[in-house]
C-alpha cells in the first residue's frame, strides 16, 4: 500500500500482495490444524460459507444504489476500534463472553466491510483510481477475516456437540 501505483511498480506490488497472501496462509496454519483435529469437514464448509457470504454481499453492494453503503465507513471503523480495545482488555479479563462477542461481532463487522469496500472500490474506480492491487488487498482482508471467524464458530459448535 505504501508503494506508489505506477506502471513500473506493478510487478513489485503484485509480489508484495502474493507475499502477504502467503504469510496470511502460514498464519492460518495453526487454526486450520486445530480445526482439522476437531473435524476436517469444517474447513471446506467454512470456505464455502465465506464464499457465499462474500459473493452475495459483493453482489448486493454492486446492485445497490450508488454510494448508498458508504455511510457505513465511520460505524465500521468505530466498531473495529471497539473490538480491538475489547480484545486488549480481554487479555487481562479472560472472559469467554468477550471472546464470543469478538467472534460474532467481528463476523457482522466484516460483512459490513464487504459492502462498504465493494462500493468504495467502485466509486474510486469511477473517479479514476485503477489501483487494483490495493483494491484486491482490501477485499482479501475482508474475506480472510470472515473465513477465520466462520472457522471458529463452526469448530466451537461441533465441540459443543461432542
How many angstroms separate the CA atoms of 82 and 105, rounded? 10
- Asked if residue 60 belongs to a domain, the reply is yes
Q: How far apart are the two ends of the chain, measured CA to CA in Å?
A: 44
- Asked if residue 137 belongs to a domain, the reply is yes
Whole-model pTM: value is: 0.93
- Asked if residue 80 belongs to a domain, the reply is yes
- Asked if residue 1 belongs to a domain, the reply is no
- Asked if residue 70 belongs to a domain, the reply is yes
- Asked if residue 2 belongs to a domain, the reply is no
Query: Residue 68 in contact with residue 120, Cβ under 8 Å?
Result: no
Give me the domain span that covers residue 140: 7-161
- Asked if residue 122 belongs to a domain, the reply is yes
Structural domains in the chain (count): 1
Per-residue confidence of the chain (162 residues) as pLDDT tens digits?
677 787 788 889 999 999 999 999 999 999 999 999 999 999 999 999 999 999 999 999 999 999 899 999 999 999 999 999 999 999 999 999 999 999 999 999 999 999 999 999 999 999 998 889 999 999 999 999 999 999 999 999 988 776
Amino acid at each position: 500500500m505504501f508503494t506508489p501505483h505506477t506502471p513500473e511498480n506493478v510487478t513489485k506490488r503484485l509480489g508484495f500482495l502474493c507475499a502477504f497472501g502467503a504469510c496470511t496462509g502460514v498464519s492460518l496454519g495453526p487454526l486450520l490444524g486445530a480445526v482439522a483435529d476437531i473435524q476436517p469437514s469444517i474447513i471446506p464448509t467454512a470456505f464455502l460459507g465465506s464464499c457465499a457470504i462474500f459473493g452475495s454481499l459483493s453482489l448486493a453492494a454492486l446492485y445497490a444504489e450508488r454510494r448508498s453503503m458508504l455511510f457505513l465507513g465511520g460505524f465500521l471503523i468505530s466498531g473495529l476500534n471497539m473490538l480491538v480495545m475489547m480484545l486488549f482488555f480481554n487479555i487481562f479479563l479472560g472472559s469467554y463472553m468477550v471472546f464470543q462477542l469478538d467472534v460474532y461481532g467481528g463476523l457482522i463487522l466484516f460483512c459490513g466491510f464487504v459492502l462498504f469496500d465493494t462500493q468504495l472500490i467502485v466509486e474510486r474506480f469511477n473517479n479514476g483510481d485503477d489501483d487494483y492491487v490495493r483494491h484486491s488487498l482490501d477485499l482479501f482482508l475482508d474475506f480472510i477475516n470472515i473465513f477465520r471467524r466462520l472457522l471458529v464458530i463452526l469448530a466451537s459448535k461441533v465441540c459443543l456437540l461432542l
